[in-house]
Amino acid sequence: MSDFYVLILGSGAATPTFARNCSGQIVNIGSTKMLVDCGEATQNHLRRYHQKIQSIKYIFLSHLHGDHFFGLPGLISTMHLCGRKEPLTLFAPKGVKAALDLLFEVSGTHVDYPFEIVEMDHNAPRVILQTDKFHVTAFPLQHSMPTYGFIFRQEEPLLNLKPGVRDLYGLSNEWCMRVKRGDDLVLDSGVVVPNSELAQRLHSAHSYAYCCDTAYDESLVPTLRDVDLLCMESTFDNAFAAMAEQRQHCTAAQAATIASLAGVKRLLLTHFSARYKNLDPLLSEAQAVFPATECASDGHIYEID
Ligand SMILES: [Zn+2]
Ligand SMILES: [Zn+2]
């Protein structure tokens, strides 16, 4: 299995149902586990789906509507009660710090581990986290309060040496690394061996975008261009298009239109209104526009490759 994947903890909008919890998902890249959105009962679902809560290193909140936020104070408190020592960083729209400070004060909640809050208040795409393996870009969405989408993009991995090359040219460790980074090899005789004869790309970098909640907005297309997996809200079907517009949400067909315009590889619909017991109408409306569409399902893992 790929080590870049998303586990859906909740795919429901607004109110939880038996079938779908409010928004939340684990995004895993290599050994880094991240939580994206944290609706009520997210910590229950982390346990249900066998996720160690102390292994979460970063939390990203799209916005402060309750169905994306109300699980956060409880989760932060549980981390403390379970003896967390490792640092935790939260990225969330401006206002989150005041909200948490007040809640923690009135409830007597302590947080003894290093807890950093990065408040977002920018109005163009911006890299908010850079590691040596990947970076995360937050970009504004159009919703009824300040809201951000996120793109998780792996850094391009090193090239792989072709079989036998190391011995053939007696490459030192330093030259191996240079060739893996794309350099041509210069022999002692001055002869240059082009990189393409020495190395090949066996793995390429992948990307995952999360857009939730948002009105239909074609200005997102350049930002989402060519991502491998786009997870996008589709709160309603076509019959509720007027309500979607009024509440600044998308229909399934609108999410599919964005996916198609942006040329993404696959689309994962999420944030379904509690009125839908059966998601087939949303799926078929979306697939009519963009065939490579699935509906997110709580507890399921979607690999990004
Ligand atoms: Zn929502
Ligand atoms: Zn919302």
pLDDT tens column, 35-75: 999 999 999 999 999 999 999 999 999 999 999 999 999 99
Q: Could you say which ligand is closest to the alpha carbon of residue 12? A: 1
What pLDDT is stored for residue 1 in this prediction? 84
Could you tell me if 45 and 190 lie in one domain? no
Band the pLDDT of 14: cuts 50, 70, 90.
Answer: confident
Contact 63, 95 (CB under 8 A): no
Residues 6+ apart with CB under 8 A from 250: 214, 215, 216, 232, 233, 234, 235, 236, 244, 258
User: From ligand 2's centre to the CA of 221, what distance in Å?
Assistant: 20
What pLDDT is stored for residue 204 in this prediction? 85
Contact 4, 303 (CB under 8 A): yes
Q: Which CATH number is 245's domain given? A: 3.60.15.10
User: From ligand 1's centre to the CA of 165, what distance in Å?
Assistant: 53
Could you tell me if 164 and 234 lie in one domain? no
Mean pLDDT of 263-277: 96
Domain residues for the domain of 166 are 160-200
What pLDDT is stored for residue 178 in this prediction? 94
Could you tell me if 117 and 207 lie in one domain? yes
CA dihedral 22, 218, 206, 175 (to 10 degrees): -140
Could you tell me if 12 and 148 lie in one domain? yes
Could you tell me if 47 and 183 lie in one domain? no
What pLDDT is stored for residue 264 in this prediction? 98
What tokens were used for 187? Answer: 């022999």
- The 10s digit of each residue's pLDDT in 286-301 is 999 999 999 999 999 9
User: From ligand 2's centre to the CA of 227, what distance in Å?
Assistant: 23
What pLDDT is stored for residue 202 in this prediction? 86
Residue ending a domain, among 178, 200, 222, is: 200
For residue 268, the cross-strand partners are 231, 294
d(CA 206, CA 192): 32
Q: Is the pLDDT of residue 15 over 90?
A: no
User: From ligand 1's centre to the CA of 205, what distance in Å?
Assistant: 30
Q: Could you say which ligand is closest to the alpha carbon of residue 10? A: 1
Q: Could you say which ligand is closest to the alpha carbon of residue 68? A: 1
Could you tell me if 71 and 139 lie in one domain? yes
- The 10s digit of each residue's pLDDT in 85-116 is 999 999 999 999 999 999 999 999 999 999 99
What are the b/e assignments for 148-185, b being 16+ CB within 10 Å?
bbbbbbbeeebbebeeebbeebebeeebbebbbeeeeb
Could you tell me if 147 and 257 lie in one domain? yes
User: From ligand 2's centre to the CA of 63, what distance in Å?
Assistant: 7
Tell me the average pLDDT of the chain. Answer: 96
What pLDDT is stored for residue 7 in this prediction? 98
- Per-chain residues with Cβ under 5 A from ion ligand 1: 67, 213
List, edge to edge, every strand of the sheet that includes 229-233.
126-130, 134-141, 147-154, 207-211, 229-233, 266-270, 293-295
- The 10s digit of each residue's pLDDT in 129-153 is 999 999 999 999 999 999 999 999 9
Active-site hit among 3, 37, 67, 298: 67
Residue ending a domain, among 200, 216, 232, is: 200
Could you tell me if 294 and 263 lie in one domain? yes
User: From ligand 1's centre to the CA of 11, what distance in Å?
Assistant: 10
Share of the chain above pLDDT 90, in %: 93
Could you tell me if 94 and 19 lie in one domain? yes
What tokens were used for 148? Answer: 């951000």
Mean pLDDT of 190-197: 93
How many structural domains is the chain composed of?
2
Q: Could you say which ligand is closest to the alpha carbon of residue 142? A: 2
d(CA 170, CA 189): 14
**Catalytic residue check, 67:** yes
Band the pLDDT of 203: cuts 50, 70, 90.
Answer: confident
User: From ligand 1's centre to the CA of 93, what distance in Å?
Assistant: 14
Could you tell me if 34 and 97 lie in one domain? yes
Could you tell me if 194 and 248 lie in one domain? no
Share of the chain above pLDDT 70, in %: 100
Could you tell me if 15 and 94 lie in one domain? yes
